[in-house]
Amino acid sequence: MDVLTIIGQLINTTLVFATALIFTSLGGIFSEKSGVTNLGLEGLMVFGAFAAGVVGHYAQDAGMDAFSAATMGLLAAIVMGTIVSLIHALASITFKADQVISGIVINFLAAGSTLYMVKLLFEGAGETELIAGYSRIAIPYLSEIPLLGDAIFNAYPTTYLAIILVFVSFYVLYKTPFGLRLRSVGEHPSAADTVGIKVNRMRYIGVMLSGALAGIGGATITLTTTGTFSHNTISGQGYIAIAAMIFGKWNPIGAFGAAVFFGLAQAVRNYVQLFAWTQSIPPEVIYMLPYVLTIIVLVAAVGRSSAPSALGQPYDPSKR
């Protein structure tokens, strides 16, 4: 293989891995911009991946073609993620529980309940049955560009959706009244309250959006990478998405860049063994490189974090 082909494939694989992270970190941004920490992204992804695997399987059994079945799975993941995120919202917004803890609760519930349900639905098996999922779609004309065409314009539909949503999220957050309100309840809830914004309602919306997006993120992995849902379909991607969100300074474009960076780090693993000079490096060094780099970048560039000011604090009107 010549170097250009390898680079093209590397970019393509990078986007496959990055897609789930893009969705999920966008979800994290909506929740945290509204002032609610969401450490439950991992669990929400698990629920999304589960819903996509199960519904995708039944839709395919009912005679749908692969694309429609996968889309049914994706929609189910959105519904599932949104519903589960309500647990987090109820505990942390209405009952003013510690937001970090209630996020961890989601992760615990996800690990247990999805596998429990898989075992109920598939007669004791530890994973859902294999489905076809999405296949790559080449965009006409654009995909014929040398190198770039194969690298970027011959991807899964979820990747296109993710990239579109990055810009939609940016527009919604920074150019619409809704976005302004969402950000204001995360920065200064009592000020927002005095001008008539319903703080808790905005926060519920933020958390539910994060549930929906993290659900899609999880579904992406089932529908494009694994084809099944099992206990290790989601293994840490939710936490990486949180890192991508912080890395990207809670900005959709920044999070997108960070997600691509983490995707690249995952993709690189597959190509390390191809060159003689890279074979002498212990593989573990390659594995840990993205995490080391993240820390270095955080130390060097980001410094003091630019998190929403009211992040992590339940809103209590009697204390303003």
What residues make contact with another protein under the rule CB under 8 A?
A: 39, 87, 90-91, 94-98, 100-102, 104-109, 111-113, 115-116, 119-120, 124, 232, 235-236, 239-240, 242-243, 246-247, 282, 284-285, 287-288, 291-292, 294-295, 298-299, 302-305, 307
Does an H or E element contain 177, and which? helix 177-187
Other beta carbons within 10 angstroms of residue 17's beta carbon come to 24
Q: What angle in degrees, to the nearest 10, is found between the helix axes of 3-33 and 157-175?
A: 40
d(CA 108, CA 82): 17
Quote the least distance from Cβ 239 to another protein, whole Å: 5
Pick the closer one to another protein by CB: 118 or 163: 118
Tell me the three state secondary structure of residue 230.
coil
d(CA 315, CA 285): 44
Other beta carbons within 10 angstroms of residue 53's beta carbon come to 33
Pick the closer one to another protein by CB: 155 or 243: 243
Quote the least distance from Cβ 300 to another protein, whole Å: 9
Pick the closer one to another protein by CB: 19 or 114: 114
Quote the least distance from Cβ 171 to another protein, whole Å: 27
Pick the closer one to another protein by CB: 74 or 258: 258
| Measured distance between the N- and C-terminal CA atoms of the chain, rounded to whole angstroms | 64
**Residue entry with tokens 């920044």:** 254
Quote the least distance from Cβ 208 to another protein, whole Å: 18
Quote the least distance from Cβ 78 to another protein, whole Å: 22
d(CA 147, CA 140): 15
Quote the least distance from Cβ 31 to another protein, whole Å: 15
Pick the closer one to another protein by CB: 22 or 89: 89
* Closest among 223, 183, 209 to 24, alpha carbons compared: 209
Pick the closer one to another protein by CB: 43 or 157: 43
Other beta carbons within 10 angstroms of residue 64's beta carbon come to 15
Q: What b/e sequence results for 1-16 when a residue is b if at least 16 CB atoms lie within 10 Å of its CB, and e otherwise?
A: eeeeeeebbbbbbbbb
**Residue entry with tokens 């074979």:** 279
Quote the least distance from Cβ 50 to another protein, whole Å: 12
**Residue entry with tokens 């959006």:** 209
Pick the closer one to another protein by CB: 12 or 230: 230
